[in-house]
Chains A and B, each alone.
Chain A
Amino acid sequence: MTSYLFRRILLLGLTLLGLSIIVFIISRVVPADPARLAAGPDATEEMVQKLRKEFGLDDPLPIQYFNYLGGIFRGDLGRSIRTRRPVIEDLATYYPATLELVLFSLLLASLGGIFIGTLSGVYHGQWVDQLSRLIAVIGVGMPDFWLALMLQMLIGLKWKLLPSGGRLGFQTPPPMGITHFFLLDSLLTGNWGTFVEAFRHILLPAISLSFPAFASLTRLTRAEVLDVLSTDFVKTARAKGLSERVVIWRHMLRNALIPTTTMIGLRFGWMLGGTVMVETVFNWPGLGLYAVQSATFADFNAIMGTTLLVGLNFALANLIVDLLYGVLDPRIRYD
């Protein structure tokens, strides 16, 4: 197990190194001059040159890359030419909001998807199954930004049941920053009012973001449950006289969940890289918008920093999923 972990972490480092090279090359190949853009439309050549020098953009490309790489080992991801702040500060500002949204959405999608998928599989062919299949088809086919707009306009703006955007109301101060997840921090500090406010704010974006994942998890869980239902060990469990609830939730589901766990891990990565539309609609101050603005501004350091962070998350999620296999199925060995 230890050597497996060591190998995976080494591989993770190499993956990130490869990613950094690819993103570095792609971002530099695009014919755009970030210094000219950051200096402003009327800037003189002298002003553009000054910014270019200040941000090391006048160095040869290999030097720029090695300077960047050296910075990473010192915990310095460079400065954003658009915001003029260290990228690490920008990421610290925007990343927690995105991570909180993604984790909460993943929780909704996983709980909902596994629960409905299991019911659908167990009550195969009945109305629960038909309804869940319909929802799943809609969920897979519906673009998240469209759902987000509809939820915002109807529930947020027209009926005013939930806030239409942001993380907290205007006059609600954020909770003390322990994890920078508003839901968790408000709970940890016993600030119930803020918790309710944060919960109400995250619901609509989380529903929008989680719906496609919920749909695919429902479908996958249903298929796996149907598969496992006909296996010998389920028949044996039933023959032993175990209650249906125990058969389903303790024996059958545990085996059906291995592909679902993989899907949850993958979905985490996809969600993290795909929050921009939902963040745009709900004015969620997260990483997705930061990434898009950085890309349109050819803000090299910010693009690199965001990509590496999302890449790291993706790789970590995969590692955690691989380790979870062993928990779900003790027959799986890592050596």
Chain B
Amino acid sequence: MFRKITVIVLLVVGLGAIGLGYEVVGGKIHIVYGARQPVEIVDPSIHYDWSTRNILQSLYDALLKYVDNPPILEPWLANSWEVSPDGRVWTFHLVTNAKFHNGDPVTADAVKFSFVRTLTLKQGPAWMLLGILDPEGIEVIDPYTIRFTLNYPYAPFISVLPWWYIMNPNVVMAHEVNGDWGTNWLRNPPNEAGSGPFVVREWRPGEYYWLEAWDEYWKGWPNPDHIGGFIFKLIREPASQRVAILTGEADIVEGVTPRDFDELAKTPGIYVPEYPGMTTFGIKMNTKRGMTANPLIRKAICYAFDYDALIDIYEGHAILEDSPFPPATKGYVSLKEQMYRQDLEKAKEYMRMAGYPEGGFELEYVYVAEMEEERLIGLVLQDSLAKLGITVKMVPMVWPQMVELASKPETSPDMMAVFTTPVTNDPDAIAIQYHPMSAGRYYYAHWYENPRVTQLVEQARATVDWDARAKMYEEIQRIILDDAPEIFGMLYNRRWAFREYVQGFRFCPLRMTSEIDMYYLYIDRAKLPPKR
């Protein structure tokens, strides 16, 4: 009996060899993207994060699209637009050949519906335009022309449009229940109402999401050998991702360790694109409470910190910030000369001016418990500030707790490790992080307030003339740097590992963390190994 069972088990195990990750369907190659983060809600009005947007971008189109590095706004569903001299009225002309997956044309009515839906539900990307655009301000001029009249002049308006995806009102509202705008239906794939280049083939929650190329995509495909689809497969362990790309079980991975990326870059058959992102790392200091409320102490801390160690922690795959704005931001000015770099003499001088020549106090450094890089940075901080007689208490926390603490000036930590990714390359996306309007958000953990900066931020976002805006943003950058509300840290490089037959990757720093625009990917068949 035991032998029989053994034989059966061995037979079953031996059945079916396992080949490479990609799947072949109808002669087309469907690649496997090994990723760590699941996708829970696929409703453009409700939620976005990098993995969700990887799917949303594939299923839906927007009026405009961000491409390339530095980012440019490419006309997509809208092929031209005009703005009134005062920056309040924006008119967009739509392409006439766009259609949704069910064949319905993409019209101005659909655009209006999508904006009204998101503004009414007040979730997901709604924050980008709440208070700036009301549903009443959206007007359909003709089937292919739409006009937005803003509540006040808002120059960055156009920069957020790529994240407002257009949904088919006929499909969504056919599934509306009790005035829910179809949310209960739309959030669950394979349900969707888009016009994007891919459609859902199979959706297995917690396991993988399989999207296939839509042959009738209204915009056509940039390459005849475009991918036939992609399987967004959850591989949560970095070590498993590494082996998956090495053995060909995955065609792209995003989450291996920095050291493994280095190793993969040297591996035949694999390439590792590497680009500086727009995600900044800073240590926000509470400007409202405790010792860090004193700008002299903050400056002393900024001058004491060992910045080179940041690059070492990322093993050279990062660059130091030389302005509060990341380089890919419009209006960025390099302030290399004024930037804080380790200078212990200056640091001690500021401590003397602050009345604490010997230090003698303790500051908390709060960081995400499971993030090794943030822990290492904390150790560097501890070592750097010890030279000023400041004791740093390392406080690991889970992210939800940190967000809650940062939401009030009384509870916001002395120092908090924060990564921030702006949603657009408009300077307003960064400048607003130093405006009291951001109160309650994690990146406002410094609770910084400077009346001049506040005034300039408001003035700049209401100004249409770019040259005038650029001057204001330069002043904003200089003032913020001088006020030192945070230790301006670094921008780490974004990396993926690709099998060499997957080509066409176009990096855009405004895509979140590991998001890839799958539309441009194609297969180099000369490099494609046979599937076993």
Contact = CB atoms under 8 A, between A and B. Distances in A.
Given A32-B403, A33-B400, A149-B239, A47 B127 contact: yes
Interface in B28-65: 38, 40-41, 46-49
Contacts of A48: 440
Interface stretch (B10-18, B255-263, B457-465): B10-18
A281 B237 contact: yes
A213 interface: no
Interface string B54-96: 0000000000000000000000000000000000000000000
A61 interface: no
A11 interface: no
B23 A286 contact: no
Contacts of B25: 171
Contacts of A93: 205-206
B247 A283 contact: no
B398 interface: yes
Contacts of B122: 46-47, 50
Contacts of A45: 439-440
Contacts of A149: 237, 239-240
A157 B247 CA distance: 6
A116 B127 CA distance: 62
B330 interface: no
Nearest to A30: B401
Contacts of B207: 166-167, 283, 285
- Residue of B130, B239, B240, B407 contacting most chain A CB atoms (<10 Å): B240
B206 A200 contact: no
A32 B41 contact: no
Contacts of A199: 12
Given A165-B235, A196-B15, A85 B404 contact: no
A22 B213 CA distance: 49
Interface string B174-208: 00000000010001100000000000001011111
B206 A286 contact: yes
Contacts of A67: none
B237 A36 contact: no
B16 A43 contact: no
B236 interface: yes
A34 B398 CA distance: 13
Contacts of A41: 403, 441-443
A31 B366 CA distance: 14
Contacts of B440: 36, 45, 48
B127 A43 contact: yes
A46 B123 contact: no
B126 A33 contact: no
Nearest to B11: A196
Contact of B405 (A31, A39, A94, A162): A31
Interface residues on A, range: 35 or more
Given A30-B401, A153-B243, A200 B16 contact: yes
B240 A281 contact: yes
B278 to A, nearest CB: 15
Contact of B46 (A84, A160, A161, A286): A84
A47 B400 CA distance: 17
- Residue of B14, B15, B126, B231 contacting most chain A CB atoms (<10 Å): B126
B404 A84 contact: no
Interface in A153-192: 153, 157-158, 160-167, 170-171
- Residue of A48, A82, A153, A170 contacting most chain B CB atoms (<10 Å): A170
B9 to A, nearest CB: 8
B520 interface: no
Interface stretch (A235-243, A265-273, A292-300, A311-319): A292-300
20 contacts: A33-B403, A37-B400, A40-B49, A41-B403, A43-B441, A48-B440, A82-B40, A84-B40, A93-B205, A157-B240, A162-B13, A163-B18, A164-B18, A166-B204, A196-B16, A199-B12, A281-B236, A281-B237, A283-B208, A289-B206
Interface of B: 12-19, 23, 25, 38, 40-41, 46-49, 122-124, 126-128, 130-131, 183, 187-188, 202, 204-208, 210, 231, 233-237, 239-240, 243-244, 246-247, 249, 398-401, 403-405, 407, 423, 439-443
The list of the 7 closest CB pairs from A to B, nearest first, reads A285-B206, A32-B400, A160-B18, A157-B243, A285-B207, A83-B40, A298-B400
Interface of A: 30-34, 36-37, 39-48, 50-51, 82-85, 93-94, 97, 149, 152-153, 157-158, 160-167, 170-171, 196-197, 199-200, 203, 280-281, 283-286, 289-290, 293, 296-298
Given A40-B123, A149-B237, A286-B206, 11 more contacts: A30-B400, A30-B401, A44-B130, A83-B40, A84-B46, A161-B13, A164-B18, A164-B240, A170-B231, A290-B206, A296-B400
